[in-house]
Amino acid sequence: MDLLAELKRKTMTAEAVAATVRDGDQVDYGMCLNQPDLFDKALAARKDELKDIDIRGTLSVQKRQVVEVDPQQEVFTYGNWHFGGYDRAMKDNGVMDYIPMNFGEAPGIYRRFLTTDLVVIKTTPMDAHGFFNYGATNSFIRASMDTAKRIVVETSTAIPRCFGIENAVHISEVEVVIEGDNAPLFELPNPPITEVDETIAGYIVEQLEDNSCLQLGIGGMPNAVGSAIARSDLKGLGIHTELFVDGMVDLVEAGMVTGNHKQSYRGQICFSFALGTQKTYDFLHDNEMCTSLPVNETNLPDNIARNKKVASINNALQIDLVGQVASESSGYRHITGTGGQLQFVRGAYASEGGKSFMCLSSRYLKGGEPKSRIVVGHEPGTIVTTPRTDTMYVVTEYGVTNLKGKNQSERALSLIELAHPDDREGLMKAARDNKVVSRRYW
């Protein structure tokens, strides 16, 4: 095959590709940094010519034009596997749907239950061997392509080239190539680390051991944990994570990450997608220490548990007094998604010497008034992400407790101790009134 000739033959404009979309088509936009921009704009421009176009996407990092031009969903419906800030706002306005899933199951869901007429994914330009690399987002892209009738790539020189498994598609499989605009990648600014974050991070670091294998979530608190680890004397750490973030770059550059004590992908930093600043994307580009994996390989609990001393560190929005963790909705308002939290909680517990941590500040502000994140029970509509039977360590700025092995009364009492001092009396009264604790505490 003459690769350059094939590339030239298959190259078309975004408008020409959008013109091939037909009524009733199912279109897949992929995830995060790999969602197409030129094609999205071109498809949106056809709103008055089409009907019943169903689109799937995940974690939008900028406005999706098919949503913007059709706020009444007359033509385009958009289903989303995990929300970012834009997606959350669109759900609040009633113009975006959430699709529930454990993230590690995504490739299996695609291959077992879904079909797609057209998948359009942003990739690197074609390399000398005819491959288009997915860059910093592997996740379920290969699975979505396996179930698609047609594959289109929109290229970008801004996408970092990452080594890994199922992380590229060959031109022989691609129907059309769109030359992208090469715009700089979206950068997720790191939120400032608060004093509460620092305190929580300190409690977690005290629980970690040399040769631990880390998974960090996203946000100020996990970043604080990364910073605290970097200041500690821990050594020989590994990384096996769903999401790769800036704080992990800091750990590698501090010489704390070797991966030499991992049982799977020894010596490698394993991740399924990355989201951060340009520092992260530059670090991943052509870095042989980093292995990009499909999300079933990173997130299924059996794969996580192959490593010893897994430390899974995630944020929570709220926890009730029996240990049910809410991390994706506040009442009926959907905020994020299940993601990989539950699978990493279970994988860490199954890991020899593993630990999972649920991190949350004791309070948040609502309408200017402080509200407790530790509650006697969740309000109606709140989604429980991690069941009480799975929750292990819970951490606030007032301490850390392990719920495993505790009865319901012991759980409630230990969680009340982690609440803000001004909320403890009220929580204890509610625990008594609702019989969350046994008679000896009434």
pLDDT tens for each residue of 336-365? 999 999 999 999 999 999 999 999 999 999
Question: Hey, is 312 helix, strand or coil?
Answer: strand
Mean per-residue pLDDT, 116-145: 97
Residue 228, pLDDT score: 87
- Pick from 39, 3, 249: which is nearest to 123 by CA? 39
CA-CA distance, 125 to 156, in Å (whole number)?
6
Residue 402, pLDDT score: 98
Residue 175, pLDDT score: 98
Mean pLDDT, rounded, of the chain: 96
Residue 181, pLDDT score: 95
Residue 331, pLDDT score: 94
pLDDT surpasses 80 at 42: yes
* Across 184-193, 322-331, 333-342, least confident range: 184-193
Is residue 242 part of the annotated active site? The answer reads: yes
pLDDT surpasses 90 at 380: yes
Map tokens 């992208």 to a residue: 180
Mean per-residue pLDDT, 161-175: 97
pLDDT surpasses 80 at 145: yes
pLDDT tens for each residue of 74-98? 999 999 999 999 999 999 999 999 9
pLDDT category, 222, cuts 50, 70, 90?
A: confident
Mean per-residue pLDDT, 90-119: 96
Residue 264, pLDDT score: 97
Residues 137 and 31 sit within 8 Å (Cβ to Cβ): yes
pLDDT tens for each residue of 283-308? 999 999 999 999 999 999 999 999 99
Residue 194, pLDDT score: 87
pLDDT tens for each residue of 264-275? 999 999 999 999
Please pick, among 154, 242, 297, 328, the residue that the annotation labels catalytic: 242
Question: Hey, is 34 helix, strand or coil?
Answer: helix
Structural domains of the chain in order of their starting residue, each with its CATH number: 3-179 (3.40.1080.10), 195-441 (3.40.1080.20)
pTM of the model: 0.95
What one-character DSSP code corresponds to residue 441?
A: G
CA-CA distance, 127 to 194, in Å (whole number)?
44
Residue 93, pLDDT score: 94
